[in-house]
Amino acid sequence: MAELKADYKQEHFITLSFEQMVYSDIFHSVDTLAGTVQAGWQGRFRLEMPHQQLISNGILYWSYSVENEQVLVDSVADIGGWNPLTLLYDPEGVYQCAGESCSDGECVFTMQALDSETVPSQFTLTADSKSHNPLKIEYIDDNDSRVVIRISDFERLGSIDESTFEFVAPDGVEVIEMP
């Protein structure tokens, strides 16, 4: 974990693609969702999925639903300062590594939440043992469904255009400022 963290500490921006699969025992189904992430230091990120975008410039947070033609605007402080890179840059801030095993070119880190209110309380992060690139995140959600997020096209970048982390509502979209 120390090598992984040290490696990511030097990166300011990343991009990746993902495929999230939610395996439900209750409904005997698998729901799949794909998307992309562009992220950087200081809480800046852009998460794009079909029909939804989540964007933060580190100060404001926009949640845009294409289907509802609506965008919610909140402050990053009010959403807990969430940053998708936190688990790579500073996992000890929210989780501690409870176990680590490496074989066949992959390392699996079992991460345990420090606070009983943190969801998920535990997850596993699989990373390539040489490049340290994340390959998969897996956890059980609030509905006891197994969630697997497969990561591809992972790239470390020196910069990303700052406009990536801003949102301008399209004409006709309702903008709701959260209190």
String of DSSP letters for 101-143: EEETTEEEEEEEESSTT-SSSEEEEEEETTT--EEEEEEE-TT
Q: Are 109 and 123 in contact (CB under 8 A)?
A: no
pLDDT under 50 in the chain at which residues? 82
The pair phi, psi for residue 131, each rounded to 5°, is: -85, -20
Bin 168: left if φ > 0, else alpha if -120 < ψ < 50, else beta: beta
| Structure confidence at residue 7 (pLDDT) | 60
Give the pLDDT confidence score for residue 55 in this predicted structure: 94
What's the pLDDT score for residue 47? 93
Q: Give the pLDDT confidence score for residue 11 in this predicted structure.
A: 63
